[in-house]
Each structure stands twice: as structure tokens, then as C-alpha cells.
Amino acid sequence: MKATDILQTHDLKKTNSRLALIKALQESIFPQSENEMKSRMSDQYDRITFYRNVQALEDAGVIHRIVVDSHTVKYALNCCETEKKHQHLHKHMHFNCKSCGKTFCLENVDVKQYPIPAEFQAEECEVMIKGYCKFCNQK
Amino acid sequence: MKATDILQTHDLKKTNSRLALIKALQESIFPQSENEMKSRMSDQYDRITFYRNVQALEDAGVIHRIVVDSHTVKYALNCCETEKKHQHLHKHMHFNCKSCGKTFCLENVDVKQYPIPAEFQAEECEVMIKGYCKFCNQK
DNA sequence: ATTTTAAATGCAACATTGTTTCATTTAAAA
DNA sequence: TTTTAAATGAAACAATGTTGCATTTAAAAT
């Protein structure tokens, strides 16, 4: 789906910054950090606008944030970004490679329900698996 | 177990900063942020020393770090901090309350194995559940 | 096509979190 | 008591993220 259509679908203004941000994400099959996106956005990158736009796009359901560790946040397009209001936004887990640092969305592995004590009211479950990816895997 | 004995068991030098850090954690049943510990450590707190000591204590297996979100790290004593070399350091999941912000170690809920594609070599699995805690739970 | 307007942008300035270098201090061994 | 390697703390820096405010712009209204 074209960046401009994604914005339209979600009732977001089509600005150059937002188009560049979405295109940066579309150019990579892996979730990307701000720095990686910055390179791809070249002169369309402004740090403050970037932070405001990732927030706006996340709120609108276009992208999701992945907290890899306390100093690393990555961003990825949502799989079903075509649908304006997806009732049950598909939640998946992530994998991060300790060697190359790449992050992967494991779209096909469902997050499990955990039998936590009844006094806790769970709303979200974030699962991050760390290890070695298919490129770095040491048999 | 007394703070001084914990350090001795792990072959760590007994310094005032480390004793204060461990005592700060022992004073709370919840994992704590740097700021919360800073208050409890009063004049024994120095930011640079703090960062070095949480690193050293984590490496030694005395405490663990919990990344609640990209701006919040909390620290907690390991349950079995008495054992010097626990072969299988008990890994548990965490719960974070969206209302009061408290973090809980869910010691009795085991982290599940996920059927991720074979080309990924998993080493760790971090699970963070977010919702409302027993104090904030809205029936 | 032009005007209007609310939203988006970008600058300055600031806040928080974390790290590195290096001289000084200190716990613990000799 | 002396020695020494580790730990500390000051200064300086780096990365990440936020807020206020004047300016620009997308898109709706005229």
C-alpha cells in the first residue's frame, strides 16, 4: 500500500515528513531504529517532528514501537495497516539477535495467555525473545 | 540475608555504596527505579557509582534489571541471592500497572516456551504483562 | 482559484538517562 | 602497617526524548 494511501485511510494529513517516515519503514523488511530511519529519510528528517509523528502514527495504528532494551526502540509498520479500524490489532512477539542486533516480528507465533493471579487484570502482554537469528545462528 | 553477607557470598567488595544499594532494594517489596532507590540511599547515592554498581551486581547475579518501557528501568533482588552460583537462575515474568506504575515479579508463573521458527536460536525470553494491579484493579 | 484555519513543523532550550576518563580513596590481602 | 587492585566521584560528554512558541502548510470553505 502506498504511503499516501495509508495516511488517507487513517485520516492523517499527508505531510512530507510522514510520507518519508512511512517510506523509510517500507524500504526495510526489519523493524528499524530512529537512526536507521534517519539515514533513509535524509533531509526529510527532523528529530522533533520524527518523535511527534511516530507517536501520531502509533496512535492511529499505522506503526508499532518495539522496545528492544532500555536504549533501543525500533519501529515497524503494522501488518494490516490497510484496515482503518482493526478491532483486534494482531499482537505478535519479537525476536532480537544478540549478534547482529536485527529485530524480527514473529507474526506467526501467537502470544500465550498466562495464568497470572486473579487479582491482576492483564491488558497487554509483550514478549521479546533474544538469541541468534537465522543469519547469525551458530549450529 | 544481610547485605554484607550477600556481597561476601558473591566475592564483591563491601563498600558503603553497594551496601546502601542492596539495603534500598531490601526495603521495598516492589522492584524500584533509580529515583526511588536514590531517595532511600540518601547521601550514599552517587549517580555514576550507582550505574557501575547495578552493573556489577547484575553480573554477579545479585539483582536483575527490569525494562518496564524505554524510559523506565527497575531493579530487584534475585530471589535466590543466597546461592552463589545458581545454575538455572530462576527466570520469571513481570507485571506493570498502568495506573500506579508499580512493577511486580510474578515468581510463580513460568515463562512458556514458544514454537518459533527453527532457524532462530532462542536464549532468553522476556515477558512483560501490563494492566491493572491488585491495588488498582477496577472490577 | 483564493481565502481560511487548524494541524503540523522546526527552532531553541531543556530534561533525563547513561558513559568515559582520570585522579583519589578504600577494602582487603600481604 | 604497608601494599595494591578495585571502587569511587568529579568533570565532561553523548544519546534520547520533551515543551513552548512562532511559522508553515494541507485541506476545507468560500
Residue lying closest to nucleotide C17, CA to C1' = B71
A117/B contact by beta carbon, under 8 A: yes
pLDDT in tens, chain A (139 residues): 999 999 999 999 999 999 999 999 999 999 999 999 999 999 999 999 999 999 999 999 999 999 999 999 999 999 764 454 444 466 899 999 999 999 999 998 988 889 999 999 999 999 999 999 999 987 5
CA distance B103 to chain A (A): 12
Bridge-based pairing state of the strands A103-110 and B32-33: unpaired
State whether B120 and A93 contact (CB < 8 Å): no
d(CA B2, CA A28): 51
Any bridge partners for residue B96, and if so which? B103, B130
d(CA A2, CA A21): 12
Write b or e for each residue in B64-88: b if 16 or more Cβ atoms lie within 10 A of its Cβ, otherwise e. bebbbeeebbbbbbbeebeeeeeee
CA B109 to chain centre: 16
Show Cβ contacts of residue B3 under 8 Å, excluding neighbours closer than 6 positions: B18, B19, B22, B23, B26
Q: How far in angstroms lies nucleotide C22's C1' from the CA of residue B48?
A: 14
Report CA torsion sign: A39, A10, A52, A65.
negative
Digit-coded pLDDT (tens) for A62-73: 999 999 999 999
A104/B contact by beta carbon, under 8 A: yes
Q: Which nucleotide comes closest to A34 if you measure CA to C1'?
A: D16
d(CA B76, CA B104): 10
DSSP E strands in A11-111: the ranges are: 32-33, 63-69, 72-77, 92-97, 103-110
Grid cell locating A131: 538469541
Grid cell locating B84: 552463589
